[in-house]
Amino acid sequence: MTTLFDKFSAVMDERQALTGAATDPTNVVVDKMVSATEGVIAGRATILAGTNNYLGLTFEPSCVAAGQHALANEGTGTTGSRMANGNYHSHKALERELAEFYDLPHAMVFSTGYGANLGILTALLQPGDCVLLDADAHASLYDGCKMSGADIYRFKHNDPDSLEARLRRLGDRATRTLIVVEGLYSIIGDCAPLQKFAEIKRRYGAYLLIDEAHSLGIYGDNGRGLVEAQGITEEADFIVGTFSKSLGSTGGFCVSQHEILSLMRYTSRPFIFTASACPSVIATTRAALQVMRDRTELRTQLWKNAHQLYAGLQGLGLSTGPEVSPVVGVRCADQEQAINAWHRLLAAGVYTNLIVPPASPDGSSLLRCSMSAAHTSAQVDAIIAAFEAVLVTN
Ligand code: PMP
């Protein structure tokens, strides 16, 4: 006789395989944050090379001050959803500012990036509709599609031919089809051919949703993301993103050219049935958006650091992604090597992200680094030196 709990023995086995040494990679505790790029882990000063703090704004004085002001004046939380408890003026202001930032008419703010994807996908899609989903799309995109009840077909990662072949096969159903992709992919650090995807969707009369979680603040002359860099902001039907990466806070959003985004406020369950973001979180996000717009030198510095890390790791002969980006995934020979290297990097004072199946895109095992504008050149050199000691010199 089986029980409800039996499935957890497999989880237990997997965790034990990962843990091995002193620190569990899935449960790291940062005892103290020293700065945007440095923390204390297990008593040791550690360079944080695996955050998504792309612009380094988590300690930005204007953002901290805005959050403190909101805490003192608006309280610790909203204690309910926007539909039930009303919108705070700041939720609305952030929506206006996002719409203005993208130069699109409609914007909707959610409590998390994960919730934004669930919220938009479940409101937009229903059984009988189709989704063409990039094979490497984030779990929140997959979960939203699955929850919607639409038919899901995956196409080869970043492959316009594979997308078109599936779209062609759908025939008349193409006009009830949503193509779901990301901009910058967060594990390997490769970019989607968004222009090609947009051209295909136009030809077939389908719709396009792009998750720009890792692209916002990084690409485009104004930091609007890969949609801006590839000139397709107006062609995307829905652009979703998160505040938890380059904006250094939490929350998610969707901007769109379509009026129906406003109607989703009445139909999107992940929007309706959860508490709205705390006023302090909204305030820090608004301040960070302003900093991102004003201080373009942060983006320049981020790219400088990204080039330094990518060139350094490539110079060591390590297997990185196909292009320079603030995300650099280093492929390891196998899971055992990745786990072992992750522990040794941490012991050398460098925190990276351990990515092993099923979280990795193609079954490989990787050490993921992400650069921040706040990393110093010396810190980037130290990260490269630690990789050399752990994966090359050995
Ligand atoms: N989309 C993508 C592509 C992501 O990488 C993430 C977070 N890693 C999310 C959505 C969810 O965002 P959040 O963590 O802010 O909920």
Whether 123 is covered by a domain: the verdict is yes
* Average confidence (pLDDT) over 179-203: 97
Same domain flag for 272 and 308? no
**CATH code: domain of residue 248:** 3.40.640.10
CB distance 109 to 253 below 8 Å: yes
- Please indicate, yes or no, if residue 236 is contained in any of the structural domains: yes
Q: Which residue out of 117, 226, 240, 242 has the highest number of ligand 1 atoms within 8 Å of its CB and is therefore the one to mutate? A: 242
Answer yes or no: do 304 and 169 share one domain.
no
Q: What tens digit of pLDDT does each residue of 357-394 get?
A: 988 888 899 999 999 999 999 999 999 999 999 999 86
Residues 201 and 290 in one domain: yes
Query: Strand order of the sheet with strand 38-41?
Result: 30-35, 38-41, 44-48, 350-351
pLDDT (tens digit, 9 = 90+) per residue, 39-60? 999 999 999 999 999 999 999 9
Residue 114 pLDDT more than 60? yes
Q: Which amino acid is present at 352?
A: T
51 C-beta closer than 6 A to ligand 1: no
Average pLDDT over residues 77-101: 94
Best CA proximity match to 379, nearest among 53, 49, 51, 52: 49
User: What is the separation of C-alpha 92 from the centre of its chain, rounded to a whole number of angstroms?
Assistant: 23
Q: Which domain holds residue 363?
A: 11-48+296-392
213 C-beta closer than 6 A to ligand 1: yes
Pair (352, 230) in one structural domain:
no
> Is the residue at 4 inside a domain?
no
Atom of ligand 1 nearest to the CA of 137: 3
- How many domains does one find in the chain? 2
Q: What is the CA radius of gyration of the chain?
A: 21
CA distance 384 to 382: 5
Assigned domain for 2 exists: no
Domain shared by 208 and 92, yes or no: yes
Is 54 within a domain? no
Mean per-residue pLDDT for 106-132? 98
With a cut of 60, say whether residue 21 has pLDDT above it: no
Residue 10 binned pLDDT confidence (cut-offs 50, 70, 90):
confident
Q: Are 248 and 279 in contact (CB under 8 A)?
A: no
The verdict on 250 and 358 lying in the same domain is no
Residue 125 in contact with residue 116, Cβ under 8 Å?
no
**Cα-to-centroid distance, 287 and ligand 1 (Å):** 20
How large is the average pLDDT for residues 282-289?
Answer: 98
Mean pLDDT, range 108-122, rounded to an integer: 98
Task: Determine whether the shortest distance from the Cβ of 117 to ligand 1 is under 6 A.
Answer: yes
Residues 239-248, mean pLDDT to the nearest whole number: 98
Q: Is 333 helix (H, G, I), strand (E, B) or coil?
A: coil
What mean pLDDT do residues 274-290 have? 97
Whether residues 104 and 35 fall in one domain? no
The answer, yes or no, to whether any atom of ligand 1 lies below 6 A from the CB of 276, is: no
65 and 104 both lie in a single domain: yes
Asked if residue 285 has pLDDT above 60, the reply is: yes
